[in-house]
Amino acid sequence: MGTGTQVHPLRKTQRKLKHNSCSGYFQNTNLCLNGCLTVNILSLSSATTGNLTMTPTPITRWALPGAPKDVEVYIKRDDLTGCSLTGTKIRKLEFIIADAIQKGCKHIITCGTSESNHCRATAAACAELGLKSHLFLESYLDDVSKVKYDGNLFINRLCGANIYLVPRPRGYKDYIKPRMQMLADKIERETGEKSKLVSTGGSDEIGLWGFIQCFDEIRRQGIEFDDVVVTCATGGTVAGLTIANYLAGQPYKCHGILVCADSKFMHNEINENMQSLGITGVRSEDLVTMYEDYKGPAYCENYPYQLEYIVRTAHETGILLDNAYTGKAAYGFSQLLQNKPEVFKGRRILFLYSGGLISLQTQAMAEALLPLESKSTIMMFPEKL
């Protein structure tokens, strides 16, 4: 078993981190690197929103199906950040919504797919804080009457979100963002109220701080790891953790398992975030290893063996993986452990579990999983046994 990289010696740095989305700089930002990364961003104080997340989330051993016996696998249970706010997305939203409130915004406009965990967390957080949420959801449907309101989409409506369907797939910058701005302009003309536009997945240089804070949380929980593995979709999670790990002296080796996009996109996201924070002389390609062989046939689509792995993991460990994100990433992680023993043998590895329970609660997922072999049975109890 690996003992983990030696904790970086005590190093304190005071710096102003340039932030394009806020006026000027993050003031009084103190990076105290002594194995932990302490971040105090007074301009985005948690006092603005209170504590939306129930943190710290626990870290436990995980008997990951298919994992060799010569590695120790742990799981950080970010599915336990809250009920309607379950998952990692709320970590970003704590900072994003705090910024919006401080700027006087009454509306949050964001986007994702119809299965988006980020959009569901946005709707729930806005309901809790008295803001109005507007969600642009990519869909293959061209008729609203055909929409099935289950899973995350059901929660969105339950929390009072305004939902706008747009054709799928469409690009964020060229198609969706201009329409989000059109809506923001309309709201301001009619009500005088300001809106904040939030990018796909909340992956921007404000949301980034949610995972810098998450890194600090992991270090403070006191378990030494050699590696950290995360699911990669829009890039915000891997960017925050990779940057925090670098600033703390790289105690971990970082790995990102892609469920959409590609390695070039992910590295570009991280490099742009580092540039915006004034970090120079290093590139993402040197800080994190990306794996893109486990994305399945398409976003939110799966090969049968990926669905079988979701069922197996639930049966054997009680961890509920979803088909869009964590199911693909956990399956890919298990394959990496088997196929790259020279990389992981004898190491202690943390898998950041980003949630997925609500995404499982759809008719489409039920129909996909029903034909699979299951240890569960259902029957009427007979009068005689």
Residues identified as active-site = 116
All residues at 6 or more sequence positions from 86 whose CB lies less than 8 Å from its CB, including other chains: 79, 80, 121, 355, 357, 358
Query: Both tokens of residue 77?
Result: 């249970």
All residues at 6 or more sequence positions from 208 whose CB lies less than 8 Å from its CB, including other chains: 92, 236, 239, 240, 243, 273
Closest CA to 340 of 71, 74, 75, 73: 71
Distance CA 72, CA 204 (A): 33
Q: What values do phi and psi take at 12, rounded to 5?
A: -115, 135
All residues at 6 or more sequence positions from 309 whose CB lies less than 8 Å from its CB, including other chains: 65, 66, 321, 327, 330, 331, 334
Place of tokens 């990306």: 290
